[in-house]
Amino acid sequence: MTSTISVLGAGSWGTALAIQAARNGYHTLLWGHDPAHIKTLQQNRTNQRYLPGFVFPNTLETCSELAEAAAFSDLILIAVPSHAFKNTLIKLRRFTGHQVQIAWATKGFAPNDGYLLHYSVENIFAKETPAAVLSGPTFAREVAADLPTAITIASNHTGFADQLTRIFHSARFRTYTSTDMIGVQTGGAVKNVLAIASGIADGLNFGANTRAALITRGLHEIIRLGLELGGRQETFMGLAGLGDLILTCTDNQSRNRRFGLALGQNKDRAAAREEIDQEIEGVSAAKETYLLAQTHGIDMPITEQTYKVLYESLSPLAAVQNLLDRELKAES
């Protein structure tokens, strides 16, 4: 039984998950791609840039060599942004053996092809490689602070899900297992688009009614797309669906929501991005989700209007009005 884990991605989420595993007594190696950043983590034993205020447990080490991370453990958890996911896998493959097991906590689609991330794992590693995705309503700072949190671990391999449960579950961090990797990934990727939409509405000073309508109709969009892609209805009502959607549409810790707020307050896209200065997965996910909806002929009006604000310079106010002006229909 493994007592080690390598976590790839030294941003806020990779650091929080590495702290969680290390607090549970697992020897944890956190890899980051920037040697200068890793050097500051080694010197300070904290990630001041991405997760200030949390001292690393003694069982947590850091490195900037991917070969070192691959040699450290056969169990790899990836928490790099989605735009770096595929390349990280390609580089990692050179250093891993047959025993490797791959989990990820990244939320989004593979860049350019728009596929869910498990396709990248299947294509780059052997088909039988145990794979798992961790997703749910989990702000990094709250996990690092050991505030009660629940998360879903979906895997194609029961033994791997159980192993990840042993590594991450604690009295304050409750893990649920699932076999619906498609549903869990769809929920995690698309909720970021809807969090931007919810932020836009609040930035325009619309009220609680608007936000509740966006969340509810947004959930329908996730369900329609997720079922088409092969996910299961109950997943979308769970932590990785409704749970994460509520979290990021309603709380200003969400970078996606804050980005939307800035757009609704009339800031341009570049200024809003600069203000947040961290990963905003909903920007690329809006494009990927919009294209997927078109390919599959699925009605996703909130996603479509968010896409148009981000990529076609539609004004946020016009986007909301377009949603309100749609032809009346039965609720479904």
Ligand X SMILES: NC(=O)C1=CN([C@@H]2O[C@H](COP(=O)(O)OP(=O)(O)OC[C@H]3O[C@@H](n4cnc5c(N)ncnc54)[C@H](OP(=O)(O)O)[C@@H]3O)[C@@H](O)[C@H]2O)C=CC1
Ligand Y SMILES: O=C(CO)COP(=O)(O)O
Chain residues in the site for ligand Y (CB under 6 A): 107, 137-139, 192, 195, 244, 247-248, 254-256, 281
Q: How far is the CB of 278 from ligand X (least distance, A)?
A: 3
Residue 34 binds: one of ligand X, ligand Y, none (C-beta under 5 to 8 A by kind): ligand X
Residue 256 binds: one of ligand X, ligand Y, none (C-beta under 5 to 8 A by kind): ligand Y
Tokens of 52: 């200030």
Classify residue 154 as left (phi > 0), alpha (psi -120 to 50) or beta: beta
Among 75, 76, 102, 107, binds ligand X (CB under 6 A): 107
Between 243 and 316, whose beta carbon lies closer to ligand X? 243
Q: CB under 6 A: which stretch of 20-28, 138-146, 164-172, 196-204 binds ligand X? A: 138-146
The residue annotated as part of the active site, out of 191, 267, 308, 329, is 191
Residue 187 binds: one of ligand X, ligand Y, none (C-beta under 5 to 8 A by kind): none
Is residue 279 part of the contact set for ligand X (CB under 6 A)?
yes
Residue 264 binds: one of ligand Y, ligand X, none (C-beta under 5 to 8 A by kind): none
In the residue annotation, 267 being an active-site residue is answered as: no
**Residue 181, number of CB atoms within 10 A of its CB:** 22
Report whether 246 contacts 191 (CB < 8 A).
no
Between 111 and 204, whose beta carbon lies closer to ligand X? 111
Bind-site residues for sn-glycerol 3-phosphate: 107, 136, 138, 191, 244, 254-256
Question: From residue 64, how far is each of 25, 193, 225, 287 by CA, in Å?
Answer: 22, 31, 38, 31
Is residue 278 part of the contact set for ligand X (CB under 6 A)?
yes
Bind-site residues for NADPH: 12-13, 33, 50, 107, 140, 255, 281
Report whether 141 contacts 16 (CB < 8 A).
yes
Question: From residue 43, how far is each of 36, 63, 112, 146, 250 by CA, in Å?
Answer: 11, 12, 37, 24, 36
Q: CB under 6 A: which stretch of 32-40, 202-210, 224-232, 289-297 binds ligand X? A: 32-40
Alpha carbon 19 to its chain centroid, in Å, reads 18
Among 7, 9, 130, 245, binds ligand X (CB under 6 A): 9
| DSSP E strands, 100-159 | 101-104, 131-135, 149-155
Bind-site residues for NAD(+): 9-14, 140, 255
**Residue 71, number of CB atoms within 10 A of its CB:** 15
Is residue 6 part of the contact set for ligand X (CB under 6 A)?
no
Between 86 and 255, whose beta carbon lies closer to ligand Y? 255
Is residue 82 part of the contact set for ligand X (CB under 6 A)?
yes
Measured distance CA(6)–CA(62) in Å, rounded: 9
Measured distance CA(285)–CA(107) in Å, rounded: 9
Bind-site residues: 9-14, 33, 50, 107, 136, 138, 140, 191, 244, 254-256, 281
Concatenated DSSP letters of 282-330:
HHHHHHHHHHHHHHHT---HHHHHHHHHHHS---HHHHHHHHHTSPP--
- The residue with its CB nearest to ligand X is 11
Q: How far is the CB of 209 from ligand X (least distance, A)?
A: 28
Measured distance CA(34)–CA(257) in Å, rounded: 27
- Catalytic residue ranges: 191
